[in-house]
Amino acid sequence: MQVSVVDYRAADAAEQFTRSLRDTGFAVLVNHPIPQTQVEAIYADWLAFFDGDAKRDYAFSVDTQDGWFSTQVSETAKGHTEKDLKEYYHVYPWGRIPTALRRPTLDYYELATGLAAELLGWVERHTPAEVAHHFSEPLSGMIAESRQTLLRVLRYPPLTGAEPAGALRAAPHEDINLLTLLPAANAPGLQVRARDGAWLDVPCDFGMLIVNIGDMLQEASRGYFPSTTHRVVNPSGDAARHSRVSLPLFLHPRPEVVLSERHSAGSYLAERLRELGVKP
Ligand SMILES: O=C(O)CCC(=O)C(=O)O
Ligand SMILES: [Fe+2]
C-alpha cells in the first residue's frame, strides 16, 4: 500500500488524488494553495495559547463542542481504555475563539474549507456512477452552508515519562467526517494502517498537505472510499521533550444530510461523540 504524493498543479491531479484515496484512504498534496508561512504562524500562536493560562477560560461546551479540551477530558479512541496524550481546541466560526487568534484562525478556516470543497469536487468527479448513485445529493451540496465543519488545533505535550502504559499521542482511530485536511505537523508521528496490518509513516515533510477519508464518506459511498485507521505514535529521545502541533480540518455535512439508510450526518455524529466520551 502506498499513499501517493500528488502535485496539486499536475494535469491529472484530481484523478491521481482520488485513486490514492480509494486505494489507501489517504493522499498527500504538494504545491497546494495553502501557504506554509500561514500554517507556521498558526502553530506558533496556538502553541503560546496552550502554554498559557487563558485556555482555562475557554473550557469546551458539552452542548456545542467548541472550545478547549484539556488533557484530562481528551478523547478515548473507540475500543481503547487510555485517554490520548493531547489537548485541543475546537474552532467553529460561530463558536468562541480567543480574540488575538480570531482573525488568523478564521482566515485559515476559510482558505482550508474552500480547498476542501474543491478536493471534494475532485472526488465527486472521479467517483464511478454506480457508487455516486447512492449519494442522496451531490457531495458538494452536502457541505453547502454547513456550520459543522470543524478546525481542531491539537497540541501533544512533551512526554514526562509518567504517561500511563500504552497511552499514545493519538490511539488508532478513524475520522468521523467526510474528508480531513491536515497540514504536516511540526513533528512526525502520524501513521496509517495498511490492509496487512502494518503501520506505515504518512509522508509529512513540512509543507505537505495530508488528506484522508472519514467514516461519513465511507458510509455514503457504501465502502468504496475507505476510512482508514491512523494513529500518532509517541516520540523518543530528544523529540519527546517537544510539543507536537497539528491542525486537522474536518469537513462535515449539514446535520440533516442523509448518508445511508442507517444514518443522517447528525445521528451519526451524535453516536460517535458518545463513543468518544465527549458527549453524553
Ligand atoms: O495530529 C495528527 O497528525 C493527526 C490527528 C488526528 O488524526 C485527529 O485528530 O483525528
Ligand atoms: Fe484522525
Ligand that lies nearest to the alpha carbon of residue 151, given by its number in the listed order: 1
Give the pLDDT confidence score for residue 280 in this predicted structure: 80
Give the pLDDT confidence score for residue 76 in this predicted structure: 84
- Closest atom of ligand 1 relative to the 230 alpha carbon: 7
Question: How far is ligand 1, taken at its centre, from the CA of residue 230, in Å?
Answer: 8
Statement: the pTM of the whole predicted model exceeds 0.80:
yes
Gyration radius from the chain CA atoms: 18
Residue 7 Cα distances to 17, 50, 154, angstroms: 9, 34, 26
Question: How far is ligand 1, taken at its centre, from the CA of residue 170, in Å?
Answer: 7
Which of the 8 DSSP states describes residue 258? B
- Closest atom of ligand 1 relative to the 154 alpha carbon: 1
- Closest atom of ligand 1 relative to the 190 alpha carbon: 3
Q: 273 phi and psi, to 5 degrees?
A: -70, -35
pLDDT > 90 fraction of the chain, expressed in percent and rounded: 90
**Closest residue by CA, ligand 1 atom 3:** 190
- Closest atom of ligand 1 relative to the 204 alpha carbon: 3
Which of the 8 DSSP states describes residue 264? B
**Closest residue by CA, ligand 1 atom 10:** 175
Question: How far is ligand 2, taken at its centre, from the CA of residue 230, in Å?
Answer: 6
Q: Which of 230, 231, 245 to mutate to test the pocket of ligand 1 (most atoms within 8 A of CB)?
A: 230
Cα angle 220, 223, 225; round to 5: 85
Residue 44 Cα distances to 48, 93, 249, angstroms: 6, 20, 18
Asked if the model's pLDDT at residue 74 lies above 80, the reply is no
Residue that wins the pLDDT comparison between 3 and 231: 231
Give the pLDDT confidence score for residue 133 in this predicted structure: 96
Report which residue type is found at 125: R
Q: The domain 5-276 belongs to what CATH superfamily?
A: B-lactam Antibiotic, Isopenicillin N Synthase; Chain (2.60.120.330)
In sequence order, the 6+-apart residues with CB closer than 8 A to the CB of 197 are none
Whether ipTM tops 0.90, in short, is yes
* 149 in Cβ contact with 249 (< 8 Å): yes
